[in-house]
Chain A
């Protein structure tokens, strides 16, 4: 019996066991540096999983993932730097603001078909970036905004926060895509006309998916602000970061939710491993690998597992 045939509860049990094992990583003599890379990789995994929910299931390419992440991150950072609230309240507010901003963006945008939705999400990032620079006295502009508070200083605790965020997101999204809601979403993504004929309100379902995606993206963005200590446009509101999230999700395997976790960790690890090549060459290599995966393994790394299993069965 292979993983893809397991019932949902068994998959969640595997996820729980893997999470518990991963939680032990800080205590097995891992370097602080490695731990910090894994922490960023796990935040990245949350972004990639949520992108997969929209792309893999709802069939919408969101080029503006950083619009949602950035809204969460900047809301939390600005509240915290003005001393309005404690970190946890800031994080909750960040997630809430991301949902509101996401709904405002998506509600009109989802009526658009084809490439227009992707375009609007991309433009949203560009506009947000310009606005942040325009109101630099409040937002810190291009330099960024420093956050005075931290949730935890200890690197193990920070790793556990990121791990928890990734694991909870994975579990909830997995349950979601296996639920009737997820099946309808998948149907809409694969054949919108047919789904509409069946009587499903396409915009309503896509909007719900977008808001869920916004919630987790904003939450992780806000958490990451408190981990990094600053919010800056190059990390949180950048089209290039959005592209990296897309690459991570595609490499990992779209329409799998778990695949993007692999993809995100692969991306962060590859960036570290290739660092000696220098910025341009390492980014070029990562893009090249992603392109090759796209061509030869359209199902991603998790798709590879499926192919190998079919071969063995045949």
Chain B
């Protein structure tokens, strides 16, 4: 029982970690909380499901196409919602913050209802990568789930390598620390933001397909995914990628334990309550900077 819990916890936490790193990276660099995050995941997941359903695409390529879908959604979000809001309206910082939240919320509804209209508002799941079952410490686990977890950490590792070892990645890191100084160094900040949104979308797209594989997605379920992602990111400390990874594991385990011990329908509840408590005691999150 305990081992089973740990195994499922590790698997689900890996996806949660991948599904939230993009969200926190985006906040760290551009200061934007994309409330359409969960719906971006759902869009990629549903697209992968649809493409596989046509019969021309296998699950592996579907992950790639999902990443592409996420990237397109991310760039459209930036180009149609975020950028115009920043340039067209002369808003104070507080106002811009709230307008951003409201605008991404409206964008969520537009995306969600567009998906519901095109594909129907039903939960869909992407078929497993490979058939078969493997025993881990005596726990029977689908091989596909293990692959998904490994793949998630691999993508996170690649992201870490990109941000800390490449020049382009270092620029992004610098933009999250001091954008003004970066502009003085002659870097085009707008291009940095475009790159970040593209990376964000790609990460969200991959995560969306994997979430659709393990948990399933639906158009109207996007908002719940946003809430989970939001809880994880805030718990870890907004903008702190390391904190997000730890929080993703924490929430993943708590949800799995709740689902096993109490009821699967209540899996989200303890995480939400913990989130509130953490916010009250330590508003900057467990690992966030003030």
Interface stretch, picked from B48-56, B88-96, B248-256, is B88-96
Tell whether, in the assembled complex, residue B116 and residue A280 are in contact, meaning their CB atoms are under 8 Å apart.
yes
B109/A243 in contact, CB under 8 A: yes
Residues of B near A126 (CB, < 8 A) are 227, 268, 272
Contact of B109 among A108, A287, A295 (CB under 8 A): A287
Q: Which B-chain residue is minimally distant from A281 (CB atoms)? A: B117
Number of A residues near B (Cβ < 8 Å) is 46
Min C-beta distance of A206 to chain B, whole Å: 13
Contact A115 B33 (CB under 8 A): yes
Main secondary structure of the interface of B (DSSP, over half): helix
Does A294 reach chain B (CB closer than 8 Å)? yes
- Asked if B139 is at the interface of the complex by the 8 Å CB criterion, the answer is no
Question: Number of B interface residues, CB 8 Å?
Answer: 42
Q: Which of A2-10, A83-91, A116-124 contacts B (4 or more CB under 8 A)?
A: A116-124
Rounded to whole Å, the gap between the CB of B261 and the closest CB of chain A is 14
Q: Does B151 contact A (CB under 8 A)?
A: no
Complex: how many Å from CA A240 to CA B108?
11
- Contacts A115-B101, A123-B227, A280-B117; A291 near B269 (Cβ below 8 A): no
Contacts known (A55-B98, A123-B272, A298-B89); A112 close to B279, Cβ less than 8 A:
yes
B residues 214-232 touching A (CB-CB < 8 Å) = 223, 227, 230-231
Is A276 in contact with chain B by the CB < 8 A criterion? no
Residues of A within 8 A of B117 (CB): 278, 280-281, 284
- Digit string of A53-88 for contact with B (CB within 8 Å is 1, else 0)? 001000101010000000000000000000000000
Q: Is the CB of A295 within 8 A of B88?
A: yes
B127 at the interface (CB under 8 A from A): no
Q: A120-B276, A283-B109, A283-B113 are in contact. Are A291 and B103 (CB under 8 A)?
A: yes
Query: Per a CB cutoff under 8 Å, which of B97, B105, B110, B113 touches A114?
Result: B97
Does A259 have its Cβ within 8 Å of any Cβ on chain B? no
Q: Compute how far the CA of A283 lies from the CA of B105 in the bound complex, rounded to whole angstroms.
A: 13
B102:A190 contact, CB within 8 angstroms? no
Least distance between B78 CB and chain A CB atoms (Å)? 15
Q: How far is it, in angstroms, between the C-alpha of A298 and the C-alpha of B89 when the chains are bound?
A: 8
* Shortest Cβ distance from residue A254 to the other chain B in the assembled complex, whole angstroms: 9
**A225 lies within 8 A of chain B by Cβ:** no
B101 touches A281 (CB 8 A): no
B62 on interface, CB distance cutoff 8 Å: no
B:115-150 near A, CB below 8 Å: 116-117, 121
Check B269 against A281 for contact (C-beta < 8 Å).
Answer: no
Task: Report whether B106 and A59 are in contact in the complex, using a CB–CB cutoff of 8 Å.
Answer: no
Across the interface, do B89 and A295 meet the contact criterion of CB distance under 8 Å? yes
Assess the A287–B113 pair: CB atoms within 8 A.
yes
The answer to whether A133 has its CB under 8 Å from any CB of chain B is yes
Chain B residue, CB-CB nearest to A298: B89
Chain A positions near chain B (C-beta within 8 angstroms): 55, 59, 61, 63, 108-109, 111-116, 118-120, 122-124, 126-127, 130-131, 133-134, 189-190, 192, 239-240, 243, 246-247, 250, 278-281, 283-284, 287-288, 290-291, 294-295, 298
Question: Can you name 8 A-B residue pairings with CB atoms under 8 Å?
Answer: A115-B238, A116-B279, A130-B268, A281-B113, A283-B109, A284-B117, A288-B110, A298-B91
